């Protein structure tokens, strides 16, 4: 395995090139961050006729958007009743119904803009790794169908047929969801935003942001962008800038490993219907197949960190446990990304100043929520309609003990991966 060779860079069909900021600009909307949120916001704003400048410190999709698993899910990790208990009934239901339609919005954008990103609408499987996990997915099913979600509980036999492994007790199938090649998707959003009239600049970190004369002024590469409105869309990859705003979250690492394209005979038995999967284990794992037939396994932990070898060895054992025919299968790609986790696992929108919003904290659900939050944040900033946002903006969001909690996640994942799949899944 080549260290930190991102499969998505190797297989991306969409290309996007943009240079650094080279001149001063005055625009309606300035966006900081070139991931799902930032690029969907830039596209939405430009399509309404607004002038837009997006500044990305690295390349488009450098952060979590280019390292994502690629599952286009409906909703959050939290089941509906937990969400409404934390947010209140009206606010919780508003977010639930907004994100229920997120996969459709993603796939509609892909179709409208002709984004070549291996989009498949075959659904997802939430795999029950134990009897307790099966009770969990059954309860999620009960809560979801009560709100109109077209969910199905699959028994162990049907789950085995769909996955190609006998290691699960059942699964929750969501036909609204699907998979994409995430880097191609975000590059396609960027391409579409430029075609709509937005100016996108990469390798242009924002070194200063201040309010002057009723506008926001951003400094980058020795130039300034003056904007009526500003959207901070850096999520887990916020760099440097702390005044007037820096998002607070717990950074959680997630690593992924991919095989070479599997032989046709194996490919026909492993995830034959193409669903993306994740399981109910305390330290969650994900599974999916790309269009070339590469099997991709993900799990909590930093594959490039001090215990990266532990995660790599776990991935090989895990694949052999789930699919004995893959014992000894080489892993040709391995990479890691950061998740912005919030204490309540609910995304945040912070109104950190006049005509300024920041969206972050998707807690591992970046594609659907990131796209929807970006589009709606752009609309809210340009129209002043804050009521339609997925969550109510707050003046600030604080997280405590972020470093300690991040270490706890990383240490726990390392310990579990050091022993997991030696004896069981």
- 365 and 233 share one domain: yes
Q: State the DSSP code for 229.
A: E
Confidence label for 419 from pLDDT (cuts 50, 70 and 90) = confident
> Do the domain assignments include residue 237?
yes
* Model confidence pLDDT, tens digit, residues 369-401: 999 999 999 999 999 999 999 999 999 999 999
Cα distance between residue 348 and residue 350, in whole Å: 6
- 325 and 219 share one domain: no
Beta bridge partners of 338: 253
- 103 and 200 share one domain: yes
- 76 and 13 share one domain: yes
- 221 and 356 share one domain: yes
Q: Is the pLDDT of residue 423 over 70?
A: no
Which backbone phi and psi does 391 adopt, to 5 degrees? -130, 155
- 381 and 282 share one domain: no
Strand 199-201 vs strand 152-154: parallel, antiparallel, or unpaired? unpaired
Q: Is the pLDDT of residue 1 over 90?
A: no
Give buried/exposed letters for 92-114 (b at 16+ CB in 10 A, else e).
bebbbebbbebbebbbebbeebe
Q: Is the pLDDT of residue 334 over 80?
A: yes
pTM assigned to the model: 0.96
Which backbone phi and psi does 230 adopt, to 5 degrees? -140, 140
Residue 313 has a pLDDT of: 94
CA distances from 165 to 265, 271, 325, 425 (A): 15, 9, 10, 11
Angle of helix 36-47 versus helix 367-383 axis, rounded to 10: 40
* Model confidence pLDDT, tens digit, residues 279-299: 999 889 999 999 999 999 999
> Do the domain assignments include residue 1?
no
> Do the domain assignments include residue 2?
no
Q: Is the pLDDT of residue 3 over 60?
A: no
**Two tokens at 394?**
């707050």
Range of the domain at 233: 7-120+177-248+344-394
Angle of helix 102-113 versus helix 89-100 axis, rounded to 10: 30
What is 8-65 written as a DSSP string? HHHH-----------S-EEEEEEEE--SHHHHHHHHHHHHTT--EEEE-SSSTT-SGG
* DSSP collapsed to 3 states, 128-174: ECCHHHHHHHHHHHHHHHHCCCCCEEECHHHHHHHHCCCCCCEEEEE
Q: Which residues contact 375 (CB under 8 A, 6 or more apart)?
A: 40, 41, 43, 44, 105
Cα distance between residue 130 and residue 409, in whole Å: 22
CATH number for the domain harbouring residue 389: 3.50.50.60
Percent of the chain with pLDDT over 90: 92
Cα distance between residue 48 and residue 34, in whole Å: 19
Note whether 139 and 153 are within 8 A (CB).
no
- 84 and 58 share one domain: yes
- 197 and 288 share one domain: no
- 203 and 326 share one domain: no
> Do the domain assignments include residue 82?
yes
Nearest Cα to 178, choosing from 96, 119, 128, 98? 119
- 320 and 240 share one domain: no
**Two tokens at 15?**
């290309």
Q: Is the pLDDT of residue 301 over 70?
A: yes
Task: Name the domain boundary from 155, 175, 195.
Answer: 175
**Two tokens at 8?**
């998505």
Reduced DSSP (H G I as helix, E B as strand, rest coil) percent helix, strand, coil of the chain, to 5: 35, 25, 40
* Mean pLDDT within 182-209: 98
Cα distance between residue 106 and residue 367, in whole Å: 8
Q: Is the pLDDT of residue 203 over 80?
A: yes
Q: Is the pLDDT of residue 425 over 50?
A: no
> Do the domain assignments include residue 29?
yes
> Do the domain assignments include residue 98?
yes
Our count of domains for the chain comes to: 3
Q: Is the pLDDT of residue 2 over 50?
A: no
Sign of the C-alpha dihedral, residues 398, 340, 412, 71? positive
Q: Is the pLDDT of residue 306 over 50?
A: yes
- 62 and 189 share one domain: yes
Confidence label for 207 from pLDDT (cuts 50, 70 and 90) = very high
Confidence label for 420 from pLDDT (cuts 50, 70 and 90) = confident
Residue 77 has a pLDDT of: 87
- 367 and 232 share one domain: yes
Task: Name the domain boundary from 150, 175, 200.
Answer: 175
């Amino acid at each position: 395995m080549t260290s930190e060779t991102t499969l998505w860079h190797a297989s991306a069909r969409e290309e996007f090139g943009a240079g650094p900021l080279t001149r001063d600009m005055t625009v309606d909307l300035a966006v900081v961050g070139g991931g799902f949120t930032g690029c969907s916001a830039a596209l939405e704003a430009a399509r309404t006729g607004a002038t837009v400048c997006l500044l990305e410190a690295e390349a488009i999709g450098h952060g979590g958007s280019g390292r994502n698993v690629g599952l286009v899910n409906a909703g959050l990790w939290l089941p509906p009743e937990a969400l409404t208990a934390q947010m209140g009934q009206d606010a919780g239901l508003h977010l639930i119904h907004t994100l229920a339609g997120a996969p459709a919005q993603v796939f509609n954008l892909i179709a409208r803009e002709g984004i070549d990103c291996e989009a498949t609408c075959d659904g997802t499987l939430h795999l029950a790794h134990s009897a307790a996990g099966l009770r969990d997915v059954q309860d999620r099913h009960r809560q979801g169908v009560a709100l109109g979600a077209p969910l199905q509980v699959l028994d162990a036999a049907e789950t085995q047929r769909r996955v190609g492994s006998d290691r699960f007790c059942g699964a929750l199938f969501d036909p609204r969801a699907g998979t994409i090649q995430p880097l191609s998707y975000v590059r396609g959003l960027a391409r579409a935003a430029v075609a709509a009239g937005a100016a996108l600049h990469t390798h242009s970190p924002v070194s200063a942001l201040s309010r002057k004369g009723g506008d926001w002024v951003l400094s980058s590469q020795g130039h300034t962008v003056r904007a009526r409105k500003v959207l901070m869309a850096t999520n887990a990859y916020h760099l440097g800038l702390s005044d007037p705003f820096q998002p607070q979250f717990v950074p959680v690492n997630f690593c992924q490993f991919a095989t070479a394209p599997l032989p046709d005979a194996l490919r026909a038995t492993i995830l034959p219907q193409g669903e993306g999967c994740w399981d109910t284990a305390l330290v969650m794992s994900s599974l999916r197949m790309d269009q070339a037939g590469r099997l991709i396994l993900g799990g909590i932990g930093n594959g490039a960190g001090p215990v990266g070898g532990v995660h790599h060895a776990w991935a090989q054992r895990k694949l052999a446990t789930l699919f004995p025919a893959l014992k000894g299968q080489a892993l040709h790609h391995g990479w890691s990304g950061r998740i912005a986790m919030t204490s309540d696992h609910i995304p945040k929108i912070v109104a950190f100043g006049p005509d300024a919003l920041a969206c972050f904290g998707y807690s591992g659900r970046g594609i659907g929520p990131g796209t929807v939050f970006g589009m709606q944040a752009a609309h809210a900033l340009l129209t002043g309609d804050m009521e339609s946002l997925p969550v109510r903006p707050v003046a600030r969001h604080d997280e405590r003990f972020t470093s300690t909690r991040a270490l706890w996640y990383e240490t726990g994942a390392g310990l579990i991966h050091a022993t997991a799949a030696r004896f069981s899944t």
